[in-house]
Amino acid sequence: MITDPQVLYKLMILYMLRQANLPMSNEQISEFFLSKDYTNYMTLQQAFGELLDAHLIKTSKVRNISRYEITNEGEETLSFFGNDISDAIKEDIHQFLRDNRIRLRNEMGITADYRKSSATDYDVECEIKEGKVTLMKMLLSVPSEEQARIICNRWQSCSQEVYSSVMQALLQDQ
């Protein structure tokens, strides 16, 4: 039985990341904790920091959004202590993920970012993931930062259409 609430919050974050099976943002995880009144924002941020320091989660940044994923060490920790999370809390997590599955997938599974590649060009990397599986990854070279920014901003709304068009063109019978 867990007596330290901070330990419970960390286990809940690990459990949520494993159940989501995709990277989640701080905002998405915070939305769950704060909407259910499990804890306050500052306490939750402390839990994130401690999980990162212990290498139980890892983070990556895409266009200034931190994306969290559970590590192998986090999976192992959860296998030892995951049963200490009550069934009611687990059900709250499952319900949140069910209710928000499409939104979470679109926010974290469809990404675009850019970086300067030479004195005059920018590389734009657009990606569609389903869980941890990459469905499509596209690297484009454009001549200006403005064009790179426009592509990144439009990728979220155009990605499914682009993916469908590419698949149709590649798979059509001759």
pLDDT of residue 1: 63
Q: Name the domain boundary from 108, 138, 156.
A: 108
pLDDT of residue 156: 82
- Provide the CB-side half-sphere exposure for 53 (13 A, CA): 7
- Provide the CB-side half-sphere exposure for 154 (13 A, CA): 10
Range of the domain at 148: 109-171
pLDDT of residue 101: 81
Q: Do residue 24 and residue 100 come from a single domain?
A: yes
Where do runs of H (alpha helix) occur along the chain? 5-20, 26-35, 41-53, 72-81, 87-109, 145-171
pLDDT of residue 133: 82
Q: Do residue 44 and residue 81 come from a single domain?
A: yes
**Residues 159-171: tens digit of each pLDDT:** 889 999 999 898 8
In the chain, the percentage of residues whose pLDDT exceeds 70 is: 97
Distance CA 128, CA 31 (A): 24
Q: Do residue 73 and residue 155 come from a single domain?
A: no
pLDDT of residue 174: 56
pLDDT score of 29 more than 60: yes
Higher pLDDT, 123 or 173: 123
Please state, in angstroms and as integers, the Cα–Cα distance from residue 71 to each residue in 7, 61, 96, 131, following that order.
17, 16, 22, 15
Please state, in angstroms and as integers, the Cα–Cα distance from residue 3 to each residue in 79, 100, 147, following that order.
19, 30, 53
pLDDT of residue 66: 82
Tokens encoding 130:
């389903």
Q: Name the domain boundary from 82, 108, 134.
A: 108
Q: Name the domain boundary from 63, 87, 108.
A: 108
pLDDT score of 146 more than 90: yes
Q: Do residue 14 and residue 85 come from a single domain?
A: yes
pLDDT score of 21 more than 90: no
CATH of the domain at 64: 1.10.10.10
Domain count, the chain: 2
Global pTM reads 0.72
**Residues 52-109: tens digit of each pLDDT:** 999 999 998 876 778 899 999 999 999 999 899 999 999 999 999 989 887 777 777 7
